[in-house]
Structure 1
Amino acid sequence: MVTPCPSSPAAGTGRRNDDQNLRAPVKKSRALPRLRRKEPLRPLNPCPLPGDSGVCDLFESPSSGSSSDSPTASAAAREHCNPLAGLAQPLTPLDLQTFREYGQSCYAFRRAQENHFHPRESLARQPQVTAESRCKLLSWLIPVHRQFGLSFESLCLTVNTLDRFLSTTPVAADCFQLLGVTCLLIACKQVEAHLPRVKQLLALCCGAFSRQQLYNLECIVLHRLRFDLGAPTISFFLEHFTHTRVEAGQAELSEALEAQSLARGVAELSLADYAFTSYTPSLLAICCLALADRMLRLPRGVDLRMGEHPEATLKDCLGKLQLLVTINNASLTHMLPAQILGKCSLPPSWK
């Protein structure tokens, strides 16, 4: 027997329509289906990479309670930890036809913008942020950007946005990591087709910050930079110089692509070192390519005159890059594809 639904007092002795009393509520369907990530993002390996200069020490979150700035890692952890293994970006083909049509004009436009977007002495106004803390943050962001499968252009824009904001606004030490992920999100919105989710970025900070804090800091960064974000980067100039040398017949296509990939790894190391912030992206790009040619022992190196930089400046930048690679040679090997790793080596004079 089915018990009838009780009638309301206002109904009196009358009886409402049974169809209306027994009607079930209908859930409204969404206009568009919600798309979810099929595979969750793998957590980052918390173990640091080997390196004498500390370039690849992972940044600790503010909630970890650690105040040590020196690299600490046991020998066993260094042997079994490799956060960058298998994450090296593959070689991409060159679009020579587009380069022939727009390459030189685009290069001239970007080169004219360098001084406007180049931050100088970004830590001069920072009472709490030091060159060491900047190095630790960017050395943490490099594996993060690889873990998300982001482009090298996104990493370069992240560093540029970070340094330009530091040159305008003092930042507290406990908010520095939040600033790093905020700049990464702003850079991804410019060039990436698939953005990392805000929840994922906050999870990397161990829940030390809220979603609203990230949104507020994003607005502050954009207003401080006046929404002027299209900076020329090392990634762009590496692409241009690679196109130029292939088009001019100065290198074979396969050799030029391998040199570009190795130069990108050297440039990643330089992004984390505050000593290289005084060099423009075009200067760093041509010097990284020249250094990669030496490490790959290519018969014809890149023409340094393509960058139109003074010889003394080129020599100074090359010397510092050579020292950087010598100190962090073990860390550099984790950033390279397997096909290039077996071909490159340090010249005996560097050791």
Structure 2
Amino acid sequence: MVTSCPASPSSPAARIRRRDSDPNLRAPVKKSRRLRLRRKQPLQSLTSLPLPGDSGVCDLFECPSSGSDGADSPAAARSRSPQPGPAQLDLQTFRDYGQSCYAFHRARESLFHPRESLAQQPQVTAESRCKLLSWLIPVHRRFGLCFESLCLAVNTLDRFLATTPVAADCFQLLGVTALLVACKQVEVHPPRVKQLLALCCGAFSRQQLCNLECIVLHKLQFDLGAPTVCFFLEHYTHARVEAGQAAVAEALEAQALAQGVAELSLADYAFTSYAPSLLALGCLALADRLLRLPRPLDRLLGGHAQAALEDCLDKLQLLVALNEASLAHVLPLQIGEKCSLAPRST
């Protein structure tokens, strides 16, 4: 019977057994690595439009004391997000869903309409509200936000004022908080908290803004989808074109002018008594009058009483007469020239 000879200490088999028995001589085992996901860079727009420098808020955004760097500036935020293009009409979608959406918003309009939001406010007045919104409207435009965001922000502000007393030194923080809440619903790239705090020049902290945001959402019971002037302006514009009452170009010019008039009315506390659908109809009727359109808007389109519409229209006409320079500044030049609102040279 032949048996195998014992391996010598210097044989390869002995060296292998000695290596396996000694943990210090074992070869390191490579651990399995989990797949790592790289952070994707945000999409960059192909072109970044230069920002106008005559809006009066450039120094505020670029204030060194605000503590914001170039990456978090509104100019950088606008360059990251696509710029809004010219207004277009989607008549096919309007034919399919327009009347249903309009009926739904009209039925809920009264639930989101605070007519006397300052009645229970001991420190916030109509003048301070006008001052805040006159500051917030250029801020919204500077960020390149849509008109719907501004309308929702004003609605959120007024509804919160109707429920909770606000101290005067916190009113500006409430304004930027309402804008943040509105932008989260509408905008693809809402402003950052750091950017909004920079607008207040360091007067408030991030924690204060987040706490106030929670309070606002709690007081409004997270019910934020309010019907706005912006929605009704778009609906009436589609409706008049679909009915053959105006050409597409004329309707879009009237909508742009009506939006400028509505923007002025948002800062005036006297117009909070009008429902958004009535205010939108009055703004379009005034725009038709200023543009001298041959076929003005059908005032029965919204189903409002003629007396209420005439009262709103008279106040809007007075508002425009007192703020011609401000309105001409936000309108396209060709529309301002058509309605004799071209800005005066200084």
Q: TM-score, normalising length from structure 1?
A: 0.77
Supply the AA of the counterpart residue of 1:114: E
The equivalent residue for 2:259 is: 264
Contact kept? 1:296, 1:343, Cα under 8 Å: yes
Question: How many residues align structurally?
Answer: 295
Supply the AA of the counterpart residue of 1:115: S
Task: Between the two structures, name the one with larger relative contact order (CA 8 Å, sep ≥ 6).
Answer: 1
Say which of 110, 116, 120 aligns to 2:115. 120
CA distance in 1, matches of 2:131, 2:301: 33
Bigger Cα Rg: 2
Matched, 1:147 2:142: yes
Say which of 235, 240, 243 aligns to 1:240. 235
The equivalent residue for 2:331 is: 336
Gaps of 5+ in 2: 1-23, 29-34, 67-82, 342-346
Supply the AA of the counterpart residue of 2:268: D
Say which of 163, 179, 192 aligns to 2:158. 163
RMSD between superposed Cα atoms in Å: 3.2
Matched, 1:176 2:175: no
Say which of 276, 292, 300 aligns to 1:281. 276
Contact kept? 2:55, 2:138, Cα under 8 Å: no
Supply the AA of the counterpart residue of 1:32: R
> Superposition pairs for residues 43-54 of structure 1, below 5 Å?
47=56
Q: Deviations over 1:151-171 (max 9, x none)?
A: 000000000000000000000
CA distance in 1, matches of 2:210, 2:52: 23
The equivalent residue for 2:209 is: 214
Q: CA deviation at 1:35?
A: 4.0
The equivalent residue for 1:32 is: 39
Q: Deviations over 1:90-141 (max 9, x none)?
A: 6411000000001011101100111100012100111110001100111111
Identity value in percent: 72
Runs (4+) off by over 2 Å: 28-31, 33-48, 88-91
- Structure 2 vs 1, CA of residues 131 and 112 (structure 1 numbering), >3 Å: closer, same or farther? same
- Structure 2 vs 1, CA of residues 212 and 30 (structure 1 numbering), >3 Å: closer, same or farther? farther
Q: CA deviation at 1:42?
A: 6.9
Contact kept? 1:120, 1:278, Cα under 8 Å: yes
CA distance in 2, matches of 1:256, 1:168: 38
Q: CA deviation at 1:343?
A: 1.2
- Look up the SS of the partner of 2:39 in the other structure: coil
- Look up the SS of the partner of 1:105 in the other structure: helix
- Structure 2 vs 1, CA of residues 339 and 91 (structure 1 numbering), >3 Å: closer, same or farther? farther
- Look up the SS of the partner of 2:300 in the other structure: helix
Contact kept? 2:115, 2:274, Cα under 8 Å: no
Q: CA deviation at 1:32?
A: 1.6
Q: CA deviation at 1:249?
A: 0.4
- Structure 2 vs 1, CA of residues 256 and 230 (structure 1 numbering), >3 Å: closer, same or farther? same
CA distance in 1, matches of 2:155, 2:53: 24
Gaps of 5+ in 1: 1-15, 21-27, 49-57, 65-87, 347-351
Q: CA deviation at 1:197?
A: 1.1
- Look up the SS of the partner of 2:221 in the other structure: coil
- Structure 2 vs 1, CA of residues 125 and 293 (structure 1 numbering), >3 Å: closer, same or farther? same
Q: TM-score, normalising length from structure 2?
A: 0.78
Contact kept? 1:91, 1:261, Cα under 8 Å: no
Contact kept? 1:91, 1:257, Cα under 8 Å: no
The equivalent residue for 1:109 is: 104
